[in-house]
């Protein structure tokens, strides 16, 4: 069975996350890490992204997608 590699625009489309949020979550170990597909290219295994989405669905999407900011006046 072949493995499909998603590029960043496809990951953004599937998850609804912004580029910066994806990389922030990778840094926080809460999103799949990309795989190298070339000297200056990365992609994500479709199965990893789908598993992440499925896990979020199981949790009811209850956790915030990004850290909460406090605005002070």
For residues 3 and 64, give the distance between their C-alpha atoms in angstroms, rounded to a whole number: 30
For residues 9 and 32, give the distance between their C-alpha atoms in angstroms, rounded to a whole number: 15
Residue 1 has pLDDT above 50, yes or no: no
Q: In which residue are the tokens 């496809």 written?
A: 10
For range 59-68, the mean pLDDT: 58
Which of 2 and 3 is assigned the larger pLDDT? 3
Does the domain spanning 5-58 belong to CATH 1.20.120? no
The pLDDT tens digits for 27-39 are: 999 999 999 999 9
Percent of the chain with pLDDT over 70: 79
Residue extents of the structural domains in the chain: 5-58
For range 33-50, the mean pLDDT: 97
Q: In which residue are the tokens 């949020």 written?
A: 21
């Amino acid at each position: 069975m072949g493995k499909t590699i998603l590029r960043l625009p496809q990951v953004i489309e599937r998850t609804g996350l912004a580029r910066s949020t994806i990389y922030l979550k990778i840094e926080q170990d809460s999103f799949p890490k990309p795989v190298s597909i070339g000297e200056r290219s990365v992609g994500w295994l479709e199965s990893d992204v789908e598993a992440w989405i499925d896990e979020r669905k199981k949790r009811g999407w209850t956790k915030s997608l990004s850290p909460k900011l406090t605005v002070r006046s």
